[in-house]
Amino acid sequence: MRMCDAHCHFFSSRFLELLTVGVAGFPDTNRAAAVSHRLGWQDPGSAAELADRWVTELDRHSVARAAIIASIPGDEDSVATAVRRHASRFVGFFMFNPAAGDVAGRLSRALGEHGLRGICLFPAMHGYRLDDERVKDVFTAAADHGAVVFVHCGVLTVGVRKKLGLSSPFDLRFGDPLALAAVAVRFPAVPVIVPHFGAGMLREALMAVEQCATMHLDTSSSNAWMKYYPGLTLEQVFRQALDIAGPERILFGTDSSFFPRGWQQAIHAAQDAALHAIGAAEEHRQKIFGGNFDRLFPV
């Protein structure tokens, strides 16, 4: 079965440098290597080297294509380098903060010159409402450039920040799928992706999906948010998502990020098992594991 992963993080050297700006204890030279060492990760090296490592990893697991996310504002160049190098394998996403100003100019560079295709919003991290005017500007730019808008709703924890002891004063109230839907319905040409089935806001995410035809759910990560719903299983999550979103609006993802861990095979195995357990049709599984991704991101 053709597999495309809609949610991987491209943890480049530049990402590690930007993440630790102002953090004491790391040298100014070879900073990314020092941060990697502290984390027990493989040094990412150059963006080109990391891109090649990713392709080898995708090949090893028979993953045809992957969305790779520049996971801090300012790291668009790294993902753009990877996408240029392996255009048939990668779709470039990037974390974007609309509250930082010049929304149109910055998005024009990222989506135009850099050829990236997914704008990733983390409202709980950057502190703005999803029905804010600046978010409408993001959707306008996405419509102009044929991009998708990815919005992290619900609970937000960033593993690497925790490991490095960085403070993460996120305001989870901003990650509201219903506020997102209120904007998204006005931009019927812009596909929207809500990762991790809404990351704890499953009910609201499903309401948003039902209201708004452009809204997609990604299945990525261990979905540890299920702990907020006593007794909920991944099988039930998939069944409900299939009932309400339908097989066209569910995108398989893993949330893979660093090496040497690499691509998270176990996440795929768990999701595949859940879909088999509920008797999902092969045609539906094909859409979830690859077809929908190819439809949203034609090569």
List of residues contacting Zn ion (CB under 5 A): 255
Using CA atoms, how far apart are residues 124 and 168, in angstroms rounded to an integer? 10
Nearer to Zn ion, 176 or 255 (CB): 255
CA 68 to each of CA 194, 205, 245: distance values in angstroms, whole numbers, following the listed order? 15, 23, 24
Residue 247 CB, shortest distance to Zn ion, in Å, is 23
One DSSP character per residue, 41-98 reads PPP--SHHHHHHHHHHHHHHTT--EEEEEE-STT-HHHHHHHHHHTTTTEEEEEE--G
Q: How far is CA 237 from the centre of its chain?
A: 19
Nearer to Zn ion, 13 or 221 (CB): 221
Residue indicated by tokens 């495309």: 4
CA 142 to each of CA 108, 110, 117, 261: distance values in angstroms, whole numbers, following the listed order? 9, 11, 8, 33
Nearer to Zn ion, 204 or 255 (CB): 255
- Yes or no: say if 147 and 117 are a contact pair by the CB < 8 Å rule: yes
DSSP category for residue 7: E
Using CA atoms, how far apart are residues 224 and 222, in angstroms rounded to an integer? 5
Nearer to Zn ion, 26 or 170 (CB): 170
Residue 8 CB, shortest distance to Zn ion, in Å, is 8
Q: What angle do CA 239, 242, 247 make, to 5 degrees?
A: 145
Continuous segment of H or E residues that includes residue 193: strand 192-194
Structure tokens at 192: 């929207």
CB within 8 A of 234, min separation 6: which ones? 223, 226, 270, 271, 274
Using CA atoms, how far apart are residues 201 and 209, in angstroms rounded to an integer? 12
Residue 218 CB, shortest distance to Zn ion, in Å, is 9
Nearer to Zn ion, 214 or 223 (CB): 223
| 90, β-bridge pairs | 66
Residue 159 CB, shortest distance to Zn ion, in Å, is 9
Nearer to Zn ion, 75 or 255 (CB): 255
User: Which residue has the closest beta carbon to Zn ion?
Assistant: 255
Residue 264 CB, shortest distance to Zn ion, in Å, is 11
Residue 93 CB, shortest distance to Zn ion, in Å, is 10
Nearer to Zn ion, 187 or 220 (CB): 220
Nearer to Zn ion, 14 or 196 (CB): 196
Residue 140 CB, shortest distance to Zn ion, in Å, is 25
Residue 70 CB, shortest distance to Zn ion, in Å, is 12
